[in-house]
Amino acid sequence: MTGSVPRVLVVDAKGAGSRLDTWLAGGLELSRTRVAALIDEGRILLSGEFPRKSEIVSEGDRIEVELPPPRPLAAEPEALPLAIVYEDDHLLVVDKPAGMVVHPAPGHPSGTMVNALLYHAKNLSGIGGTLRPGIVHRLDRDTSGLLVVAKDDSTHWALSTALRQRRVRRLYLAVAWGHLPKTHVRVDEPIGRDPHDRKRMGVVEDGRRAVTRIRVRARWRAAELLDVGLETGRTHQIRVHLAHLGHPVVADRMYGEGWERGMGGPDRGWAKELARRTPRQFLHATRLGFQHPASGESMRFRSPFPPDLEAVAGWAQEPDPETGGPRDDRMG
Distance of CA 289 to the CA centre of its chain: 14
Q: d(Cα 32, Cα 38) in Å, to the nearest integer? A: 10
Give the torsion through C-alpha atoms of 228, 271, 178, 201, to 10 deg.
-60
Q: Do 280 and 305 meet the contact criterion of CB atoms below 8 Å apart? A: no
Which listed residue (21, 61, 95, 140) is catalytic? 140
Residue 28 has φ and ψ, to the nearest 5°, of -100, -5
Give the torsion through C-alpha atoms of 302, 307, 313, 314, to 10 deg.
120
Whether 152 sits among the annotated catalytic residues: the reply is: no
Sign for the pseudo-dihedral over CA of 76, 77, 79, 85: positive
Rg (CA), the chain: 21
Q: Do 283 and 249 meet the contact criterion of CB atoms below 8 Å apart? A: yes
List residues with catalytic annotation.
Answer: 140
